[in-house]
Structure 1
């Protein structure tokens, strides 16, 4: 059976590079193994969920080129989840709990103060009917926990190798909120079974969840051996801080708005935390060859914006005009010509920078004239037309001989007069793009 993998984000915030890495890894795994990549929105949390964030997830993945073959929303499956809940309750695997968040927090802190792990004590399983009636009179609504059977829970992790958990050292997980809505743990396992998911690849923060989900998967009729898990270290920020989509840390939206090319992100994330060399790739398919879950190390890799920007520049400096054309069109820069692109791409940090260079060369600017006599001399020594790639050299050689100037003293006044700026692409390329007419005009101010 071909692998079926899924990316299951919740629409409660902006996707960040950590989320993107999970989506990318699953997509590459599916591509390498001729599998199916599924997008599934975990949108059962009505209080925190948002259609704006849901649409943002679609936009971000489309921008990255991570395309799903199947799409589902968990909010469409609430009836199915309720049927599973009823069956689990009938067989005694679910039990109601009435503790408030404050009471649970007190229990947790007390256990920690005693040097004991904060495992739920299952006190709610022994509530008398009188106690339950009292809670109901207090208008307490129960949340429901899944009873974990004692014993060892094992699996062969795709990234870590053999894993083992003792169920007695885990808290019975909450599967149903006070408002009756299913928690991710339940809906995810039900969907994994119904959608015939074969491989679950995600972050290390889900390792203990996996132990719980294996028992739950079996309890609802699944065969745990049919489901394979892989866990990768979480990406950290440059200072080792954790990433949070609700805080907007290195969000895909912000990177897109800043001018990062999506393949710069994909190229970086595909190699981050592996022994692979960071290479600038223009297509997802090019990343498949070197992709292997076994290559990911165990330490949390740090995401560097400096590395990402350098990779972005490398992509742009070698990008063909045919590849750049649709990107330019999206930025309303369809007027950029192939010759201009090829002349300027080696100086781009962001693709939209070329729009500025076009304006400098083709629209009105305010020349900066620091030394008028020198500029007038420069104007008088301009080479005859037609100009070519050697014109700048001929011109500056003549100026050097006439004035004795060289280096910055020679070149800076010319750049300021012709562009109005101190820095930019090579002047030999800019001079050709500006052309004889505008050059004379700017030297005549």
Structure 2
């Protein structure tokens, strides 16, 4: 049985790079019929926070990801938080010490800094000298008597680590590049490269799918697997995600967390679809694909090793397609309600639904509601100096609005068809047409020179608001 995991640290919001890693693990699991595990790596006690863990889970679920085992679900290989597995790690650290694969190191920070400075002066990459590798029991006791607390270092064998990466192919790394590394700190807290091996081995992980920034960690982990006699999983290192300027994705590229995209009005389906295409693409080159089809086509072997480019403009376009063409109007409106209310646009659900129907073709994210929906909610808008000047300089401007009011003042309701018929009558009777007819009406009804179709607007806001706005214009300029 194939098993994969996503193992985030709860030290901040879910970054898009991590979200893509979670997504590819999920797609692999669904495509292969494998088990998908969520594990929380919270051994950094200072930075890890429970609220971040809760937000991680919320954001993953918002994206449409589901896992089979995890801290919120349990499972046969729990607990699924590293902070609850410390006894397990200490047990295996002890085993490595007893078998001679690890040792206590008493070197102080000052001693290690001197080693680093010497390596820099000689133009060599720094690696620990191994000074404490062969201390006798007596030497250890003497150092501890001085009050020195040791770390535990892994005794790295002198060899070339070789593995076949599913995405990157053949990889060889000489252990001389990194030397003996710490697996347990002075305070007894185990470190990442050690605990991740223990967790992946005990949780029977068969495929480790993660970002290529972990590639340098892989040989360190493989030598620990070998020392403990664990089966080594297959590795797949995903390409890095870059911004449009080809630099590492960061806050300067805009929203780079799942939560920020959600708050910016992106739909979960569009985010799922877009992130799945960062480093992978379907055989037929289509870009808009439903979740089920992405799962059916996804193969981890097809992931590109080249960096993926996060293009926010393209994501906005894709989100617009989902808004306009894919989401059901009721569902779209449900998701839009919090945005309407957040912008101070108060109404009932049916009114929101009418507005969404009128504007959905002109928005790309739900944040666009703020500007596009304003004309449906704000009756007392300002007339700019430019509008005032335009109205005063064109006597027909006021006349068109006045004629329109005469046509509607006795109506009890108004539809799109009514509006079209009335404007046709005005064209026929008075000769006003095109911009000369519709521009004055738009200014009177919205205070803006462009926007949603006026026939849609008047039908949604209703005759009372139409009369109010037209009368307000006439009184203002009368």
Relative to the length of structure 2, the TM-score reads 0.82
For the pair shown, the structure with the greater C-alpha radius of gyration is 2
Evaluate the alpha carbon distance shift between residue 304 and residue 113 of structure 1 in structure 2; reply closer, same or farther with a 3 A threshold. Answer: farther
After TM superposition, list the pairs within 5 Å mapping 1:268-347 onto structure 2: 268-276=274-282, 277=285, 279-281=287-289, 283-318=290-325, 319-328=327-336, 335-336=349-350, 338-347=353-362
Deviation at 1:330, TM superposition (A): 5.8
Evaluate the alpha carbon distance shift between residue 107 and residue 139 of structure 1 in structure 2; reply closer, same or farther with a 3 A threshold. Answer: same
Evaluate the alpha carbon distance shift between residue 248 and residue 431 of structure 1 in structure 2; reply closer, same or farther with a 3 A threshold. Answer: closer
User: What is the alpha-carbon distance in structure 1 between the residues aligned to residue 53 and residue 228 of structure 2?
Assistant: 29
Using the TM superposition, name which of 121-130 and 175-184 deviates more. Answer: 121-130
Deviations 1:354-408 (A, max 9, x none): 5876664366443748533331123234597875544444444444556655555
Match of 2:53 in 1: 54
Match for residue 418 of structure 1 among 418, 423, 445: 445
User: What is the alpha-carbon distance in structure 1 between the residues aligned to residue 171 and residue 50 of structure 2?
Assistant: 37
Superposed CA RMSD: 3.0
Deviations 1:54-78 (A, max 9, x none): 1121121111111111111111111
Contact conserved, 1:367 with 1:419, CA < 8 A, in 2?
A: no
**SS at 2:156's partner residue?**
coil
Deviation at 1:100, TM superposition (A): 4.0
Evaluate the alpha carbon distance shift between residue 334 and residue 320 of structure 1 in structure 2; reply closer, same or farther with a 3 A threshold. Answer: farther
Deviation at 1:442, TM superposition (A): 1.5
Contact conserved, 2:416 with 2:458, CA < 8 A, in 1?
A: no
Residue 431 of structure 1 pairs with residue 431 of structure 2: no
Match of 1:237 in 2: 243
Residue 252 of structure 1 pairs with residue 258 of structure 2: yes
**SS at 2:36's partner residue?**
strand
Evaluate the alpha carbon distance shift between residue 109 and residue 60 of structure 1 in structure 2; reply closer, same or farther with a 3 A threshold. Answer: farther
Match of 2:404 in 1: 378
After TM superposition, list the pairs within 5 Å mapping 1:391-410 onto structure 2: 391-400=418-427, 407-410=434-437
Match of 1:22 in 2: 21
Structure 1 segments unaligned to the other structure (5+ residues): none
Number of matched pairs: 440
Evaluate the alpha carbon distance shift between residue 184 and residue 53 of structure 1 in structure 2; reply closer, same or farther with a 3 A threshold. Answer: same
Deviation at 1:270, TM superposition (A): 0.5
Contact conserved, 1:367 with 1:442, CA < 8 A, in 2?
A: no
User: What is the alpha-carbon distance in structure 2 between the residues aligned to residue 334 and residue 100 of structure 1?
Assistant: 67
Contact conserved, 1:39 with 1:68, CA < 8 A, in 2?
A: yes
Contact conserved, 1:5 with 1:198, CA < 8 A, in 2?
A: yes
Residue 175 of structure 1 pairs with residue 174 of structure 2: no
Contact conserved, 2:415 with 2:455, CA < 8 A, in 1?
A: no
After TM superposition, list the pairs within 5 Å mapping 1:12-161 onto structure 2: 12-71=11-70, 72-101=80-109, 103-127=111-135, 132=140, 135-136=143-144, 139-161=147-169
Using the TM superposition, name which of 343-352 and 357-366 deviates more. Answer: 357-366
After TM superposition, list the pairs within 5 Å mapping 1:359-374 onto structure 2: 360-361=375-376, 364-366=379-381, 368=383, 370=388, 371=391, 372-374=398-400
Structure 2 segments unaligned to the other structure (5+ residues): 71-79, 342-346, 392-397, 473-478
Evaluate the alpha carbon distance shift between residue 129 and residue 89 of structure 1 in structure 2; reply closer, same or farther with a 3 A threshold. Answer: closer
Contact conserved, 2:381 with 2:447, CA < 8 A, in 1?
A: yes
Contact conserved, 2:363 with 2:372, CA < 8 A, in 1?
A: no
Match for residue 350 of structure 1 among 362, 365, 372: 365
